[in-house]
């Protein structure tokens, strides 16, 4: 039986592969600051993309998209702001969410929402 960290790692790797296939460039994984983490940081044309990956088994009680609530978004935005201050780029930030469905260690599907939320209402 796989633990949640192993399941999450499979999900994150599969999303990285998915993004590279779509022409994105992965520039960081698991970027952490105190109180926050971003699973994947990538570039896509004019955007620096901060991707939250949620890996679930089929019929999970909560969906991956639903679990990225306002509090989680706030932490991701705060972490992204920290990243951008340390590694400035001339790109527009975008916040995406990927939901990966996994069965017995195998990825069944990846649902991907571009620009899932923005910084409206967030005070830097």
Q: 63-75, pLDDT tens digit by residue?
A: 778 889 999 999 9
Does a structural domain hold residue 122? no
Q: pTM higher than 0.85 for the full model?
A: yes
Q: What pLDDT sits at residue 108?
A: 95
Query: Total domain count for the chain?
Result: 1
CATH of the domain at 103: 3.40.1350.10
The span from the CA of 106 to the CA of 24, in Å, is 23
pLDDT above 80 (res 122): no
Does a structural domain hold residue 87? yes
Does a structural domain hold residue 123? no
| CB distance 100 to 107 below 8 Å | yes
Name 79's Cβ contacts closer than 8 Å, sequence gap at least 6: 31, 32, 33, 36, 37, 38, 50
Does a structural domain hold residue 36? yes
Q: 112: domain range?
A: 4-117
pLDDT above 80 (res 61): no
Query: Average pLDDT for residues 15-43, to the nearest whole number?
Result: 97
The strand pairing partners of 25, in sequence order, are 43
Res. 123 pLDDT band, cuts 50 70 90: low
| CB distance 55 to 100 below 8 Å | yes
**Tokens (6 digits) for 44:** 């896509």
Pairing between β-strand 92-103 and β-strand 47-56 as defined by DSSP bridges: parallel
Q: What pLDDT sits at residue 63?
A: 75
Q: What pLDDT sits at residue 58?
A: 84
């Amino acid at each position: 039986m796989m633990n949640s960290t192993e399941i999450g790692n499979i999900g994150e790797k599969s999303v990285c592969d998915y993004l590279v296939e779509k022409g994105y460039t992965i520039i960081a994984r698991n970027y952490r600051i105190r109180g926050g983490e971003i699973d994947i940081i990538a570039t896509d044309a004019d955007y620096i993309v901060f991707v939250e990956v949620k890996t679930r088994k089929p019929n999970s009680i909560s969906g991956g998209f639903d679990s990225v609530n306002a509090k989680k978004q706030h932490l991701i935005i705060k972490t992204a702001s920290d990243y951008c201050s340390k590694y400035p780029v001339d790109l527009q930030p975008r916040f995406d969410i990927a939901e990966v469905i996994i069965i017995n260690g195998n990825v069944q599907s990846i649902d991907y929402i571009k620009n899932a939320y923005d910084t409206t209402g967030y005070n830097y």
